[in-house]
């Protein structure tokens, strides 16, 4: 993200979780400076048969260097 994002970062408003057939649960976490800041999306009953794009409850600001 260091080279790909603008200085003010981007706002993430939706997310699509994806695993292949082996996936049962999946979580996306915003990490800044080695610290987990917040869970962006979490689905512990994931199904590869149903992978919608989900609008997040609140937008997340991802900055340069975040992972």
- The DSSP code sequence of the chain is -TTTS-TT-EEEEEE-----TT-S-EEEEEEETTEEEEEEEEETT-BTTB---EEEEEEEEE-TT--
Residue 58 pLDDT greater than 90, yes or no: yes
Q: Report yes or no on 67 lying in a domain.
A: no
Q: Report yes or no on 52 lying in a domain.
A: yes
**Domains identified in the chain, total number:** 1
Q: Report yes or no on 49 lying in a domain.
A: yes
Q: Report yes or no on 53 lying in a domain.
A: yes
Q: Report yes or no on 5 lying in a domain.
A: no
Q: Report yes or no on 4 lying in a domain.
A: no
| Residue whose structure tokens are 């609008």 | 55
Whole-number pLDDT of residue 26: 94
Q: Report yes or no on 1 lying in a domain.
A: no
| Residue whose structure tokens are 């649960």 | 25
Structural domain for 29, as ranges: 10-62
CB 10 within 8 A of CB 56: no
Tokens standing for 41? 């999306």
Q: Report yes or no on 24 lying in a domain.
A: yes
pTM listed for this prediction: 0.81
């Amino acid at each position: 993200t260091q080279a790909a994002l603008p200085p003010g970062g981007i706002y993430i408003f939706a997310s699509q979780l994806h695993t292949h057939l082996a996936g049962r649960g999946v979580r996306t976490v915003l990490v800044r400076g080695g610290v987990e800041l917040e869970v962006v999306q979490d689905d512990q009953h994931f199904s590869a048969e149903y992978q919608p794009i989900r609008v997040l409850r609140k937008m997340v600001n991802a900055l340069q260097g975040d992972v």
